[in-house]
Structure formats: structure tokens, C-alpha cells
Amino acid sequence: MDLTSRVLVVFGVAAGAMLAVVNAAAVLMLAGADTHAIASQLLIGVAGAGGAVVGARANLASGRTLVAELAADRAESA
């Protein structure tokens, strides 16, 4: 799997998670915005924190992979 494919997989997972959170928040708000507003805000906050962690880990992994690919290219050309 090349770097572009990995990035697209991570974006797909993040988009799916965000879609699930938005759907859950919409259901909570339809059930009663006054009684479930705190729960929906908490759910969105947790999803945002999870998205930040996933994004950071994806960026680190992508950076390491890119550095390894550049090193291999330089070794081949030398």
C-alpha cells in the first residue's frame, strides 16, 4: 500500500467517524434538544478529540513512511 492509499484510508475512516457523530447528535437533538444538548456536545467533543489523535498518528506514520521512501530513493541513486 503506497502513501497516497494510506492517507485516503485515514481520511475515509475520519469521515465515517464524523458522519456517525453528526448522525448521533442529530438523533439526540431530535429527541429533545433541551434534555440532550449536553450529551450531544460531549459526543461531538469526544469525536473531535478522537479525530485529532487519529490525525496526529496518521501524520506521524505518513512522515516516517515518506522519510523511509526518500532514503531508499537516495540509496538507489547513489
Tell me which residue range forms the domain holding 73.
1-78
Measured distance CA(37)–CA(13) in Å, rounded: 26
With a cut of 50, which residues of the chain have pLDDT below it?
none
Residue 6 in contact with residue 25, Cβ under 8 Å?
Answer: no
Q: How many domains does the chain have?
A: 1
The pLDDT, as a whole number, for residue 72 is 87
Among 32, 13, 4, residue whose Cα is nearest residue 40: 32
Global pTM? 0.51
CA 43 to chain centre: 15
